[in-house]
Amino acid sequence: MKHYLPHIAALLAAAIATGVVASIVQTQLVFNELSGFGIPLPAALRAWTTLEDLAMFGPVMTGIAFAALLPAIVVAQRIMRITPAAWRNGVFAAASLAGVWVAFWMMRSVIPMPALPGTRGPLGHILMSLAGGVGGVLYATMSAPGRATAQATAPGWPWRHGVLAAVLLLVPALLFFTTVRLAGDRPVDTPAASYQVQTVTSGLNRPWSLAFLPDGRVLVTEMGGRLLAIAADGTRSEIALDGLAPIFRQGGTAGLMDIALDPQFDQNGWLYLTMGYGVASANGTRVVRARLADDRIEEVRVLFDTTPKASAGNNGGRIAFLADGTLVLTVGDGSARREEAQNPANHLGAVIRIDREGRPPADNPFIGQPGTAPELYSLGHRNAQGIAVDPTTGDLLLSEHGPRGGDEINCIVAGGNYGWPLVTGGIDYPFARVTPFRRLQGYQDPMLEWTPSIAPAGLAVYDGDLFPAWRGNLLVPALKERAVRRVLRDGRRIVGQELLLADLDERIRDVKVAPDGSIHVLTDGVEGKLLRLTPRAGGV
């Protein structure tokens, strides 16, 4: 064991060095993106954010580096058996750089979200990987044969190396856990005695959205491409989607998504669907209009295709009708290239407004501005998967996913910029800063923000008669929190939050208020359920 301790200490030191250098490099790459938007970044702010990233992202990067360097160093040790000793630093540097490069490549290939924003482009990938070379040189120096043997045989070596290894392990961990907020305050549960839950049907395969037919049935979309009509007793039939163009599907990320009935559905029978289109390397969100005729759709027409993006995540895909009859659609930011949410020349990271023929209305806020997409209504959104029009005020409300935290409820104003990724309360998934700014002049502030994330997946405003005390409350289904947040409001002012259905411990995908005032909820996953909430006698 005594001969291994110097190598273990050297490996830990190399991983920390790699983590520190990679963290600093990534922070500067993020600053470079931000500076392209003309945002002032004083030296003091840069320095402080770099230190924050070292405390939060640095330990995570150290863990990644350790996993990447271990096999790389084993390979380098074998190469050194057949190469001159003078090549030692170069061999270990090259092997470690390659190991880190491969680790980043694997993460980019497997993880749907951009786990390490610094590696999104080829240049950033190379610059981040160079940190592995630094770690490799440090390991080669600390573990050089003569030095390692001298250390292992020196008096007091076990104690010194044991302390060194412990410090190298504990310092990053302590920095991480004293800096990062991993949990938030949990709201109280709405008393279970105030409502009862009926399971209308179960066994749904990744249900995503629902809408209410005048005859009392509920239309439910499944991401795999099915549209079901479910009666009050749970019996269901499939609506044939003949004439629908091929849907781009990818697990629980893309597929058949939202459904909404036309405001004059009783007269025209129109319904609207959103879905993925394209291929994995160039896909987007499509809006389709069709006429519902008994157990099938007909007169299918593609109304709108969003700007294609290079990855399948962050699709948005929710639709709603404003009071003037125009249709609004949420569009995600493109995931890997999140800065496109600030580019008015495309539809990414935006709310789109079209008429029911798919044309941009003449009063859209960006109409007539050179180089802008005429369908834009607002921009600066990450991935809004909830949309609702407040029936009392007419406000257009969105719930949108942040990354790790920074989930938001936003009240949309025409032409408004909601900041992503220049302004957010969230951080990246590996605990690095997206931006140092939580607020900036010229960007709209959220009505409500959740950090840590609850992963809001839908939105409804309660306006029914069955729960009179809940009128005006927002209902927010949450995937990560596995409950429905009931956001209590006094007019437009938020006065509290409570949880519904937390005892089910299931991811919640969508929530809608039925014409009779009951609340319908879709749970997520391959065994999804349609639930119906009504008051208990004397409960509300």
Q: What confidence category does residue 1 fall into, taking pLDDT thresholds of 50, 70 and 90?
A: very low
- Arithmetic mean of pLDDT over the chain: 92
In sequence order, what are the residues at sequence separation of 6 or more whose Cβ sits closer than 8 angstroms to the Cβ of residue 247?
Answer: 225, 255, 256, 275, 276, 277
What gap in Å lies between CA 454 and CA 447, rounded to an integer? 16
pLDDT at 197 over 80: yes
Enumerate the H helices of 111-191 as residue ranges: 122-142, 145-153, 157-179
Coil, strand, or helix at residue 136?
Answer: helix
Please give the single-letter amino acid code of residue 334: G
Q: 304 and 287 in contact (C-beta within 8 Å)?
A: yes
End-to-end CA distance of the chain: 69
Q: 529 and 515 in contact (C-beta within 8 Å)?
A: no
What gap in Å lies between CA 432 and CA 442, rounded to an integer? 25
| pLDDT per residue as tens digits for the range 286-312 | 999 999 998 999 999 999 999 999 888
For the segment 162-178, the average pLDDT, to the nearest whole number, is 66
For the segment 100-118, the average pLDDT, to the nearest whole number, is 85
What gap in Å lies between CA 259 and CA 244, rounded to an integer? 14
Q: What confidence category does residue 439 fall into, taking pLDDT thresholds of 50, 70 and 90?
A: very high
| pLDDT per residue as tens digits for the range 233-251 | 999 999 999 999 999 998 8
Nearest to 513 by CA among 455, 470, 450, 456: 470
Please give the single-letter amino acid code of residue 26: Q
pLDDT at 58 over 70: yes
For the segment 254-276, the average pLDDT, to the nearest whole number, is 97
Nearest to 15 by CA among 51, 53, 63: 63
pLDDT computed for residue 170 by the predictor: 72
In this structure, what DSSP letter does residue 173 have?
A: H
For the segment 117-135, the average pLDDT, to the nearest whole number, is 94
pLDDT at 499 over 90: yes
Q: Is the pTM of this model over 0.85?
A: yes
Domain locations along the chain: 5-179
